[in-house]
Chain A
């Protein structure tokens, strides 16, 4: 009997990399070193491996970028957005290895872009403390990306859990969860952020908490709707009549089928979170000096109301806009592609 069946066709390397499990591993390889580098920099530095942890992230980023470009060929919007986003991710994981000046070392204040001092050229000038703007701008993307991705991811985990429970188990759980999320959604987002951060104090981890409170209710609503729609499908009945545990039905049967719309929403939400973190830092409620950060750079430059020094404001602002634009374009492109087939 066995000899009548065809052998499974060998998958090419690209096809194997495109399978969901490979993609997840690659994404984790890209993100986890970066998170470790930024969040646990000091213990890693003491162990003397701070830079080394980033090394696996560089090839992972490049492979993911190549795969993304190959499969998004039909949407130039997605290509453009993906390129912007991956550019910044690549900068984030490789910036310690780039030939840059120390971003925290004051050299010569108020040097306009293109100034040459000795054999050093300040392509983008220096800031008011004399630190190299190019270096600060490139280093600055690390913190925004890491805290933005972490906060969004945590908000997603929380939103998905509650959304699945509200949608699948329904009943009284749905009522409680929906009520709480409606209350949270009725606050203006910034008010919610400021309230939470004033109460908890400014820090990266507290930003994560604040973003979770602000975003999870909306995510919960999306997931709840999708779960409600999917739970009347026969495959869910089939799992129920097999006696599967509700937890398994939620995670194994429902979750994978709601991922499409969620991924699109996640890209948009990464954009919002980036805006929020930058704004909060600008307000002094977020990340703290001295490390380079776009929000901090804007905050420091905003005190100088002189046209001549507007480059100090413009450079970080353009950087942050390009990242947000990247996320938004990527979301648009992904949605466009998902609607097509």
Chain B
């Protein structure tokens, strides 16, 4: 093994950015050894320096960044000693990079064929134009794009996001690179589209012999694509090793915290609650002395953990498995973590919210500036039908454009339903705009928003914003009582009381989202809609915010409508699930019913697409082909028929499927015979012997 030169080696690499406030050390003492054909994952939360490492390897540091220490060796040669010309050569032909936004790498004004053919034409002198086009077309077929010739003739905006990302990968591979850097290549894509790209990435090293660095914030994706990984925290690599070592025998408190704060199939809000990491990420210039994770670590020991730079140490066990923790050998890693009190399952009460055959259509004008073209109807919601009981959590799951947010808008009275009914405690809401609702109805229905950076008005203090809700809904009117109530609410969301006087820009994302929750619960609502409340937060704070939301809900017996695209979170916290696709309900039932057969074919694909960060979980692969159709132009018959692996031509694309009931309130809309659906094998299985 030792006589093989690593493709890439980083030795004690430190990188800083220089800004007005001074020097920001973005990456500190980073080590990495990438062998030929190996796929190495870098995982960490936002701002931990993942992308900086990739940019340093590409030598794209911009004019305010620079390597302050250490070296980067590419095929054994120090990149800092190479001439500019050599670097340019290497960058184009030996190292390629794929970014999160596919459009960042594509020229919108050039046909895809031309852009792809440029790569071989540029790097290999004696290639003819025809040969270059041929190779481009072959490469498109290799990244599994259907109909490469049509795509070669299209402009980038004419193909979907998933297809664009495949084109970018094809472009990167055309140069036949030794090293491929992928920086969150699927974050902008939908889960089922992401699953297809991940399948492709997985095969790259075996098919092309390319080494890869795969950057992601999602441990599940790393598990599916990589051989080894580095866990980063606040600019430092904290753990480094093979997938099995790090996933099953982690030796750093942060890694362990990360794993126990993400929902895994074995987690359940009642049986095995999530264990959030307390506190929040330090800002780069506020890092503590010694171990950067110190203030959040349960094993912190003053005098040892807060002094000097803690070195990376090999654990001796495992294959090149190293951690940055002075106490790793003293911690009893086999002792299970102390889990917070689970609390008893909550009994659901009466039906609070009843949605019957709800329909929302948008009329949009097509055509140009002057031709007022024909009117088109976007069926954002079609025949939605479900009920939610008191103290119940109902999750609405689906990919982008499935109509989740539209539904929330109708419910909140910002849009009027086209047809159908929504009743909240016998008040009909479908046609009732929010201005026409009485204060009581409004206060019973509140919302937690997705984007923590937008959810609070930057110009008003936190206390004012919560207080406004209290006054508006007449909970309290007296000035002092309002203030008192604001303080109580801040206590409930576990924020210090003097935050009432702060403005939103002085708060972190997680703190803002807590204020958003406090605001939603200020009027004692019966139903709270949470539209992806944690998806924009760092992984290590997500668990805390989710837990908080659930505690308050349990306490007040509130009904929670949880909108999400993330099935792991949904499985963890919801009692019932509604699966939507293109505005229609595909399947609904209890969480167990959704996660075990019979499945709707779309649910099956969705379950298989969710990355799970657990080596004991085996997933059955169901990869969907094609892309999400546009809601303005949905397929006829079953809307899923263009992508369904079971689709029966002549039936599925002609008539709308029947809704079958498999258990009380467990419905599936599909033409397949009930026996066929019941006979499906479970998608997710946990290997018992490993789990035990």
Q: How far is the CB of A232 from chain B (nearest CB, A)?
A: 9
Name the interface residues of A260-280: CB closer than 8 Å to any CB of B.
Answer: none
Q: Is the CB of B458 within 8 A of A244?
A: no
Q: How far is the CB of A239 from chain B (nearest CB, A)?
A: 8
Q: Is the CB of A5 within 8 A of B434?
A: no
Is A15 an interface position by the 8 A CB rule?
A: no
Is A182 an interface position by the 8 A CB rule?
A: no
Nearest A residue (CB) for B447: A241
Is B256 an interface position by the 8 A CB rule?
A: no
Q: Is the CB of A241 within 8 A of B496?
A: no
Nearest A residue (CB) for B487: A5
Q: When chains A and B are docked, how far (Å) is the Cα of A257 from the Cα of B442? A: 26
Given contacts A234-B450, A256-B459, contact A240 B434 (CB under 8 A): yes
Given contacts A241-B414, A243-B437, A243-B442, contact A6 B496 (CB under 8 A): yes
Chain B positions 484 through 514: 1 when the CB is less than 8 Å from some CB of chain A, otherwise 0:
0001000100001110010000000000000
Is A1 an interface position by the 8 A CB rule?
A: yes
Q: How far is the CB of A184 from chain B (nearest CB, A)?
A: 24
Nearest A residue (CB) for B469: A242
Q: When chains A and B are docked, how far (Å) is the Cα of A340 from the Cα of B19? A: 11
Q: Is the CB of A257 within 8 A of B459?
A: yes
Chain B positions 434 through 471: 1 when the CB is less than 8 Å from some CB of chain A, otherwise 0:
11010100100111011100111111100000001100
Q: Is the CB of A241 within 8 A of B446?
A: yes
Is B413 an interface position by the 8 A CB rule?
A: yes
Q: Is the CB of A234 within 8 A of B449?
A: yes
CB-contact partner of A234 in B435, B439, B454, B496, under 8 A: B454
CB-contact partner of A243 in B447, B472, B487, under 8 A: B472
B460 contact set on A, CB distance < 8 A? 252, 256
A234 contact set on B, CB distance < 8 A? 449-451, 454-455
Q: How far is the CB of B175 from chain A (nearest CB, A)?
A: 39
Name the interface residues of A284-324: CB closer than 8 Å to any CB of B.
Answer: none
Is A235 an interface position by the 8 A CB rule?
A: yes
Interface residue tally for chain B (C-beta within 8 Å) = 33
A183 contact set on B, CB distance < 8 A? none
Given contacts A1-B491, A257-B458, contact A242 B472 (CB under 8 A): yes
Chain A positions 209 through 238: 1 when the CB is less than 8 Å from some CB of chain B, otherwise 0:
000000000000000000000000111011
B458 contact set on A, CB distance < 8 A? 257
Q: Could you say which of B451, B458, B459, B460 has the most chain A C-beta atoms within 10 Å of its C-beta?
A: B459
Chain B positions 238 through 260: 1 when the CB is less than 8 Å from some CB of chain A, otherwise 0:
00000000000000000000000
Q: Is the CB of A238 within 8 A of B447?
A: yes
CB-contact partner of A237 in B414, B459, B496, B498, under 8 A: B414
Chain A positions 6 through 37: 1 when the CB is less than 8 Å from some CB of chain B, otherwise 0:
10110000000000000000000000000000
Q: Is the CB of A8 within 8 A of B501?
A: yes
Nearest A residue (CB) for B438: A243
Q: How far is the CB of B398 from chain A (nearest CB, A)?
A: 20
Nearest B residue (CB) for A236: B457
Q: How far is the CB of A192 from chain B (nearest CB, A)?
A: 30
Nearest B residue (CB) for A253: B457
Q: When chains A and B are docked, how far (Å) is the Cα of A274 from the Cα of B447? A: 49
Q: When chains A and B are docked, how far (Å) is the Cα of A259 from the Cα of B458? A: 12
Q: How far is the CB of B439 from chain A (nearest CB, A)?
A: 7
Nearest A residue (CB) for B414: A240
A253 contact set on B, CB distance < 8 A? 457
Q: Is the CB of A243 within 8 A of B434?
A: yes
B472 contact set on A, CB distance < 8 A? 242-244
Is B20 an interface position by the 8 A CB rule?
A: yes
Q: Is the CB of B442 within 8 A of A235?
A: no
Q: When chains A and B are docked, how far (Å) is the Cα of A253 from the Cα of B457? A: 7
Q: Is the CB of A5 within 8 A of B414?
A: no
* Consensus secondary structure, chain A interface: helix
CB-contact partner of A340 in B20, B446, B496, under 8 A: B20
Nearest B residue (CB) for A233: B454
Given contacts A6-B498, A8-B498, A340-B20, contact A241 B434 (CB under 8 A): yes
Q: How far is the CB of A246 from chain B (nearest CB, A)?
A: 8
A240 contact set on B, CB distance < 8 A? 412, 414, 434
Nearest B residue (CB) for A6: B498
Q: When chains A and B are docked, how far (Å) is the Cα of A140 from the Cα of B460? A: 41
Chain B positions 79 through 112: 1 when the CB is less than 8 Å from some CB of chain A, otherwise 0:
0000000000000000000000000000000000
B412 contact set on A, CB distance < 8 A? 237, 240-241
- Interface range on chain A (Cβ under 8 Å from partner): 20 to 34
Is B584 an interface position by the 8 A CB rule?
A: no
Q: Could you say which of A233, A242, A253 has the most chain B C-beta atoms within 10 Å of its C-beta?
A: A242
Q: When chains A and B are docked, how far (Å) is the Cα of A340 from the Cα of B519? A: 31
A256 contact set on B, CB distance < 8 A? 457, 459-460
Nearest B residue (CB) for A258: B459
Q: When chains A and B are docked, how far (Å) is the Cα of A253 from the Cα of B468? A: 12
A5 contact set on B, CB distance < 8 A? 487, 496-498
B496 contact set on A, CB distance < 8 A? 5-6
Q: When chains A and B are docked, how far (Å) is the Cα of A237 from the Cα of B459? A: 16
Q: How far is the CB of A123 from chain B (nearest CB, A)?
A: 45
Q: Is the CB of B455 within 8 A of A235?
A: yes
A241 contact set on B, CB distance < 8 A? 412-414, 434, 442, 445-447
Q: When chains A and B are docked, how far (Å) is the Cα of A5 from the Cα of B447? A: 28
A233 contact set on B, CB distance < 8 A? 454
Chain B positions 399 through 421: 1 when the CB is less than 8 Å from some CB of chain A, otherwise 0:
00000000000001110000000
Nearest B residue (CB) for A259: B459
Q: How far is the CB of A20 from chain B (nearest CB, A)?
A: 9
CB-contact partner of B457 in A1, A8, A257, under 8 A: A257
Q: When chains A and B are docked, how far (Å) is the Cα of A182 from the Cα of B447? A: 40
Q: How far is the CB of B480 from chain A (nearest CB, A)?
A: 13
Q: Could you say which of B447, B457, B458 has the most chain A C-beta atoms within 10 Å of its C-beta?
A: B457
Q: Is the CB of B459 within 8 A of A238?
A: no
B487 contact set on A, CB distance < 8 A? 5
Q: How far is the CB of B679 from chain A (nearest CB, A)?
A: 45
Q: Could you say which of B434, B435, B454, B519 has the most chain A C-beta atoms within 10 Å of its C-beta?
A: B454
Q: When chains A and B are docked, how far (Å) is the Cα of A237 from the Cα of B469? A: 13
Q: How far is the CB of A161 from chain B (nearest CB, A)?
A: 19
Given contacts A244-B472, A256-B460, contact A238 B455 (CB under 8 A): yes
CB-contact partner of B435 in A235, A238, A243, under 8 A: A243
Q: When chains A and B are docked, how far (Å) is the Cα of A283 from the Cα of B238? A: 75
A8 contact set on B, CB distance < 8 A? 498, 501
Q: How far is the CB of A71 from chain B (nearest CB, A)?
A: 16
Q: How far is the CB of A181 from chain B (nearest CB, A)?
A: 21
Q: When chains A and B are docked, how far (Å) is the Cα of A242 from the Cα of B446? A: 8
Q: How far is the CB of A334 from chain B (nearest CB, A)?
A: 17
A257 contact set on B, CB distance < 8 A? 457-459
Name the interface residues of B15-60: CB closer than 8 Å to any CB of A.
Answer: 20
Q: How far is the CB of B194 from chain A (nearest CB, A)?
A: 25
Q: Is the CB of B439 within 8 A of A235?
A: no
A259 contact set on B, CB distance < 8 A? 459
Q: How far is the CB of B454 from chain A (nearest CB, A)?
A: 4
Q: How far is the CB of A240 from chain B (nearest CB, A)?
A: 6
B446 contact set on A, CB distance < 8 A? 241
Q: When chains A and B are docked, how far (Å) is the Cα of A243 from the Cα of B445? A: 11
A239 contact set on B, CB distance < 8 A? 457
B497 contact set on A, CB distance < 8 A? 5-6
Q: Is the CB of A235 within 8 A of B454?
A: yes
Q: Interface of A with B (CB < 8 Å)?
A: 1, 5-6, 8-9, 233-235, 237-244, 252-253, 256-257, 259, 340
Between A and B, 19 residue pairs with Cβ closer than 8 Å are A5-B497, A5-B498, A8-B498, A8-B501, A234-B454, A235-B454, A235-B455, A237-B412, A238-B447, A238-B455, A241-B446, A242-B469, A243-B435, A243-B439, A244-B472, A252-B460, A253-B457, A256-B459, A256-B460
Further pairs besides A5-B497, A238-B455: 18, Cβ < 8 Å = A1-B491, A5-B496, A8-B501, A234-B451, A235-B457, A237-B412, A237-B414, A239-B457, A240-B434, A241-B413, A241-B445, A243-B434, A243-B437, A244-B472, A252-B460, A256-B459, A257-B457, A257-B459
* Across the A-B interface, the 9 shortest Cβ-Cβ residue pairs: A256-B459, A234-B449, A5-B497, A234-B454, A235-B457, A241-B412, A233-B454, A243-B442, A234-B455
